[in-house]
Amino acid sequence: MLHYIGRRIMQLIPVLLGMTFIVFLIIRAIPGDPAQVILGQQASEEAIKALRTTLGLDNPWYIQYFDYLKGLLTGDLGESLRTRTPVVDEVWPYLAATIELSVFAIIIAVIIGINAGIISAWFQNSWFDYLAMIIALIGVSMPIFWLGLMNQWIFSIELGVLPTTGRENVRDPVDVITNFYVIDTLITGQFDQLATVLKHLILPGTALATIPMAIIARMTRSSMLEVMRSDYVRTARAKGLKMFWVVYKHALKNAIIPVLTIIGLQMGLLLGGAILTETIFGWPGIGRYIYEAIGFRDYPVIQSGILIVAFIFVMINLFVDLLYGLVDPRIKYD
């Protein structure tokens, strides 16, 4: 097991290294000069030149790349060209905001998606099955932008029950400790704030959960249908076991593995792909952080931001792979 983990982590190195290289090349291939963007339209030619020198943008790209790698080895993710703050120091609040939102979304997606999938498979071709699969189809093809604005319209403006944007009530701000506001409010024991924070999570969380939820439901259904036809399920039913236990205990255990993979992938995608949701709901997450950095040609932020997201992505997948063993003891790692 430990050997397996070790090997998997070793495999990460070339993956991440290759990724830094590709990202590095792409962002330098797009035109646009960070010095010009930082100093604005008013800047003089000399000012831009001077800034390019201070930022090390004068060096050939491969020297810049090796400088960057050298920094990475010492844990230095570079310094934002725009705010002049080390990425390591400023990235955490954004990352935490996105993780909190993604975890909330994936919980919704998993609870509803898996159950909908199971029930659809259990009562295949019933009205529930059709309805659930139609909703799932709509879900996968849902434009998040439209959905988000509509939800704001219905739940915030018309019904007035949920806030439109942001993470907290700014009139009663959360004392930041970990930057996970749910945890912070629990630590400080501010339960009314906790309720507010959870309410702020609902609209962006459900918008973000829509697509993974649909995908998980469809995956669970097809995987369950396959298992339900197997011999051991028939045996379980033949010996008179209650259908509920057959489905949720026996069948689910074998059907869940491909679903786990999907969940892992979706969770990774949520972390990096929440830009739209973060924009509509004014969520100060890492997607927006990186996206805005692209507009400013803030190379270190783009590079290191993507690196961090990619790192988490592969770690989640490693974690999911390890989870298989727990769910299915027949799977061995060596």
Q: Residue 140 to residues 6, 105, 215, 222, 308: CA-CA distances in angstroms? A: 36, 15, 7, 16, 27
The gap from C-alpha 232 to its chain's centroid, in whole angstroms, comes to: 37
Closer by beta carbon to another protein, 108 or else 320: 108
Nearer CB in complex with another protein: 157/326: 157
User: 3-state DSSP call for residue 31?
Assistant: coil
At closest approach, how far in Å is the CB of 143 from another protein? Answer: 13
Determine whether 321 is exposed, middle or buried from the number of CB atoms within 10 Å of its CB (0-12, 13-18, 19+).
middle
Cβ–Cβ < 8 Å for 266, 107: no
Torsion 186-188-189-192 (CA) sign: negative
Q: Which of 171, 166, 176 has its CA nearest to residue 197? A: 166
| CB nearer to another protein: pick between 20 and 164 | 164
Q: Are 284 and 97 in contact (CB under 8 A)?
A: yes
- Residue recorded with tokens 């975890």: 103
Which lies closer to another protein via its Cβ, residue 148 or residue 268? 148
- How many CA atoms does the CB half-sphere of 33 hold within 13 Å? 18
Distances (CA, A) of 259 to 122, 129, 220, 236, 253: 16, 18, 6, 23, 11
- Residue closer to another protein (CB basis): 124 or 261: 124
Q: What are phi and psi of 177, to 5 degrees?
A: -120, -65
Kindly list the distances between the CA atom of residue 193 and the CA atoms of 95, 180, 198, 222, in Å, as whole numbers in the listed order.
21, 13, 9, 41
Closer CB to another protein, 94 or 320, in the complex: 94
Cβ-based neighbour number of residue 130 at 10 Å: 12
Q: Which is nearer to another protein, 103 or 149 (CB)?
A: 149
Please state, in angstroms and rounded to a whole number, the distance separating the CA atoms of residues 315 and 322.
11
CB of 266 to another protein, least distance (A): 19
| Choice between 137 and 161, CB closer to another protein | 161
Q: Which is nearer to another protein, 42 or 332 (CB)?
A: 42
